[in-house]
Amino acid sequence: MTVRWGIAATGGIATRFVAAMSMVADGEIVGVASRSMDRARAFSSEHGIPYAYDDVAALAADDRIDAVYIASPHSGHASDTLASVSAGKHVLCEKPMALSAVQAEQMAGAARARGTFLMEAVWSRFLPSYRALVDVLAEGRIGVPLLVEADFGFRVPVDPDGRLFDPALGGGAVLDLGIYPLQLCSLVLGHPDRVTADGEIGVTGVDEHMAAVLHHPGGGLGVVKAAIRVPMSCRARISGSDGWIDLPPFMHCPDYLEVSSAGRTDRIEAGFEGDGLRFEIEEVHRCLDTGRTESPVMPLDETISLARTMDRILDRIGVVRHQA
């Protein structure tokens, strides 16, 4: 069965989603919504999408659409998801799914009550490199994982109107980039029981760089940094009792892994063709095919836990929250 998708918003990631869908066998994009009908029509004609709408609720109400991809800024994710879920649509929502754990719980609760599929678009987890990582860990090649060190950051020019620097749009390093090293910690070590962090708030009021230490039951530690005003290595290392795994830049989408244990280093190739968003789309299709309303790889409780960790970090830094 072909899944008929609608896209909410017409920005950068929406364009990548269109490219990714072109490599997926059992999906097609049939609608796009924008705040402006002109932009919706321009996007639909540029990408050969049949229907255009001037708001997400109208797209979600259309029976010709099965699933909605939420590609708005972070601050729009909750309202766009809730509009889609209440119309009975399945939803793939860009990361971070919510501005806070309270919002994430509300969104998860709505989807669970309606019986629709909902997943946070943490695309990393579906890439060949991350699937290989899960296998290497399960094989015990580095023993018991004890430490995850990961950073992800760039020096982006300050633009008070851009989504990264605007507090009203959910700007800042933690929510936009920190989520990638944080989800890696969670994938490897589980949910943290203690979170300490500090960071710097810039002139526009968003967190510009941060460092956090996550303690996990059993003693595992996550050491995470993220920034929108500091270039970082964008690497990750997972150390275990018997070795370590290196994720080269960019740690959220590496195309190989290096596994060091028993006195040798093995390189595991994990490159792929086209846009890597296609793997998360395939996961949604697999779940819908088998009647699942959550992905076992990125379930909603994982999203809520990640949102809780980001809440704690932002509170520690002292960021004043908007709309959360």
Using CB under 6 A, list all residues that contact ligand NAP: 9-13, 34-36, 39, 71-74, 76, 94-95, 121, 123, 163, 169, 176
- Output 35 or 267, the one with its CB closest to ligand NAP: 35
In whole angstroms, the minimum distance from the beta carbon of 206 to ligand NAP comes to 13
- Output 252 or 285, the one with its CB closest to ligand NAP: 252
Q: Is 89 a catalytic residue?
A: no
Q: Is the Cβ–Cβ distance between 102 and 277 less than 8 Å? A: no
Beta bridge partners, 80, equal: none
Rounded alpha-carbon distances, angstroms, from residue 64 to 161, 296, 302: 35, 27, 31
In whole angstroms, the minimum distance from the beta carbon of 34 to ligand NAP comes to 3
- Output 214 or 277, the one with its CB closest to ligand NAP: 277
Q: Could you tell me how far CA 255 lies from the centroid of its own chain?
A: 18
**Catalytic-role residue among 89, 95, 216, 229:** 95
User: How many Cβ atoms are within 10 Å of 241's Cβ, its own excluded?
Assistant: 11
Q: Which residue is nearest to ligand NAP (CB)?
A: 11
By C-alpha distance, which of 53, 125, 38 is closest to 83? 53
In whole angstroms, the minimum distance from the beta carbon of 113 to ligand NAP comes to 24
In whole angstroms, the minimum distance from the beta carbon of 161 to ligand NAP comes to 9
In whole angstroms, the minimum distance from the beta carbon of 170 to ligand NAP comes to 7
Query: Element (H or E) spanning 80, and its range?
Result: helix 74-86
- Output 119 or 136, the one with its CB closest to ligand NAP: 119
Mention every residue, 6+ apart, whose C-beta is less than 8 A from residue 64.
4, 30, 31, 51
Q: Which residues of 27-57 are buried (b: 16+ CB within 10 A; e: fewer)?
A: bebbbbbbeeeebbbebbeebebebbbebbb
Mention every residue, 6+ apart, whose C-beta is less than 8 A from residue 25.
none
Amino acid at 179: I
- Output 100 or 261, the one with its CB closest to ligand NAP: 100
Catalytic residue positions, numbered: 95
